Structure 1
Amino acid sequence: MNNKELVLKAITDVFVNRDISAFDTYFSDNYIQHNPGIPNGTEVLKQFVPSLPENFRYTPGTVTESNGVVMIHGRYENWNGKNMIAVDIFKVSEGRITEHWDVMQEEVKAEDSANGNVMFPI
């Protein structure tokens, strides 16, 4: 499995299948989190994922990789009551996800945007 496949499988297992065992399978024991609201490691995430609302949905979009860094453009529906569009950035080393960054913004419908474009065209 290449890095893109690994990250996509891990994130799909976590957010689509809500399988918290994916953290043990795909994430490093020394997982570093760069989102300032989440501590390092996977323990908090293992507690957070099962608490997501039943109507939460994640849809991955474009996935790209460069030098061991994988980025996924995705859509989070009902994330804290809002639909969010994000780019999640993962560093992969020795077949495990070792670090994560994200850039997330609330989704704006095309008809409400200044340019008329959708934010997540898949």
Structure 2
Amino acid sequence: MSNKEVVLKAITDVFIKRDISAFDTYFVENYIQHNPRIPNGTEVLKQFIPSLPVDFSYEPGIMTENDDIVMIHGCYKNWNGKNMIAVDIFRIENGKIAEHWDVMQEEVASDQSANGNAMFPIK
């Protein structure tokens, strides 16, 4: 699997299928997290995913890969009651996700934005 395929499979299994075993399959044991609200490791995430609302969903968008870094632009729907647009950045090590950064912002509808452009998806 390419690094992009690893990330897409991991994100799909975790956020769309809500398959907690994906953390053991696609993440290294000493997973490093750079989101200041989430500790290192996958244990907190394994507890968090089942607590997501029934109407939560994730839609992956455009992806790019540069060596061991993969970035994915996606939409988290009903993330704490809001739609959030994010760029998740992953570092891959030996075919598994070793590190994660993200940049998230609340989605603004195109008819409410200063430029009239949608935030997601990229076309």
Map 1:1-122 to 2 at 5 A. 1-121=1-121
Q: What secondary structure does 1:119 align onto?
A: coil
Q: How many percent identity over aligned positions?
A: 75
Gaps of 5+ in 2: none
Gaps of 5+ in 1: none
Q: What secondary structure does 2:115 align onto?
A: coil
CA distance in 2, matches of 1:106, 1:60: 16
Q: What secondary structure does 2:37 align onto?
A: coil
CA distance in 2, matches of 1:97, 1:107: 27
Q: What secondary structure does 1:36 align onto?
A: coil
- Superposed CA deviations along residues 51-109 of structure 1, whole A, max 9, x for unmatched, are 00000000000011002100000000000000000000000010110000000000000
Letter in structure 1 aligned against 2:58: Y
- Superposed CA deviations along residues 19-66 of structure 1, whole A, max 9, x for unmatched, are 000000000001000000000000000000000000000000001100
CA distance in 1, matches of 2:2, 2:14: 18
Letter in structure 2 aligned against 1:75: C
Number of corresponding residues: 122
Question: What TM-score do you get using the length of structure 2 for normalisation?
Answer: 0.98
Instruction: For residue 121 of structure 1, report the CA deviation from its aligned partner.
Output: 2.2
Instruction: For residue 11 of structure 1, report the CA deviation from its aligned partner.
Output: 0.4
CA distance in 1, matches of 2:84, 2:30: 28
CA distance in 1, matches of 2:67, 2:37: 27
